[in-house]
Structure 1
Amino acid sequence: MAERTVFQSITQRHVLSLGPHANVWEAACAMTRANCGSILVMEPPDRLLGIVTERDLMTRVLARALEPKNTTLAHIMTPHPQCVPPETAVSDAVVIMLERGFRHLPIVGADRKVLGVFSIRDALPLEIGAALSQAEFNEQVNDALG
């Protein structure tokens, strides 16, 4: 059986997004309503500028005592986030996430249109196990070559 792709695995097909001038409070409310751990920062019609995650809200807003209604998404977003095409295998996406230390990957089609966001929560235990094995192998190879 072929492994699922990131596009097949995402549970939420709706892309949650706001503009760069929206404030953190608006983003947190939108994420809460959608029960979503990230929000894309986009300019019309569909230009991806960045991503804001739950972790960003904690480390870049709360831990710095910034005022959510006075802080724009442009100020705290991760600009130019790593993206993957929809046909990316789930285990490959999880390896990217493990190696780079993040939990959300925008899925972008060949036309640069954002199709969704893959979250680590979308992966099955078997796919995570395969990714962990691959990440460990990659680390061993890097150690041997380094």
Structure 2
Amino acid sequence: MLVRDILKAKTTPRLITVSATASLQKASEQLARQNVGMLLVTADDGRLLGMLSERDVVGYASRHGLYSLAHEVRQAMADVSIVASPLSPVSDMMKIMTVQRARHLPVFDGAELVGVISIGDILHSRLAEKDLEATVLRDLARTSLALAA
């Protein structure tokens, strides 16, 4: 299975962004309103600068105090250190995300950002893949038993 297969199956393929100059308060409200765990942080020209997760907001607030939600997103965002391609094997991305402890990966087709996959998306796809394998094996066993009888 490839990353593009996960992107095709996603129910919310839209990219949810926040400006690097927005306040952490606004970003937190957006995370809650959109019911997502991560926002893509963009420059004014639309370039991807980083990612901001719920964990990033909580960690930043715990280190910088009560009024830190007035600070800009750029101060709390995580850099994008790893990315995927639509043609990346899901098993490879799963290993990378596990080792790097990354919960989200931006997906680039060349220079164009085409989506984001999460560890939850990968888990969901792997479970579906395993269910299909189990069904095929069960059907094969039933057919073999029927032919043997």
Q: TM-score, normalised by structure 1?
A: 0.74
- Superposed CA offset, 1:73-123 (max 9, x none): 11011123421112222222111110111101111121x222121111112
Higher helix share: 2
User: Following TM superposition, by how much is the alpha carbon of 1:9 offset from its aligned partner in structure 2, in angstroms?
Assistant: 4.5
> Residues of 2 paired with 1:78 and 1:11: CA distance?
25
> Residues of 1 paired with 2:46 and 2:101: CA distance?
26
Q: Alignment identity in percent?
A: 26
Which has the larger Rg?
2
Corresponding position of 2:133: none
Paired AA for residue 119 in structure 1: S
> Residues of 2 paired with 1:56 and 1:81: CA distance?
15
Paired AA for residue 100 in structure 1: Q
Give the conservation status (yes or no) of the 8 Å contact 1:51–1:79.
yes
Q: What SS is found at the alignment partner of 2:20?
A: coil
Q: What SS is found at the alignment partner of 2:75?
A: helix
5+ unaligned residues in a row in structure 1: which ranges? Answer: 129-146
Q: How does 1:1-146 map to 2 (within 5 A)?
A: 3-5=1-3, 6-110=6-110, 112-124=111-123, 127=126
Two-structure CA RMSD over aligned residues (Å): 2.3
> Residues of 2 paired with 1:81 and 1:11: CA distance?
26
Paired AA for residue 15 in structure 1: L
Which structure has more relative contact order (CA 8 Å, sep 6+)? It is: 1
How many residues end up aligned between the 2 structures? 126
**Structure 1's 96 and 26: CA in aligned 2 closer, same or farther, altered over 3 A?**
same
> Residues of 2 paired with 1:69 and 1:59: CA distance?
11
Paired AA for residue 28 in structure 1: S
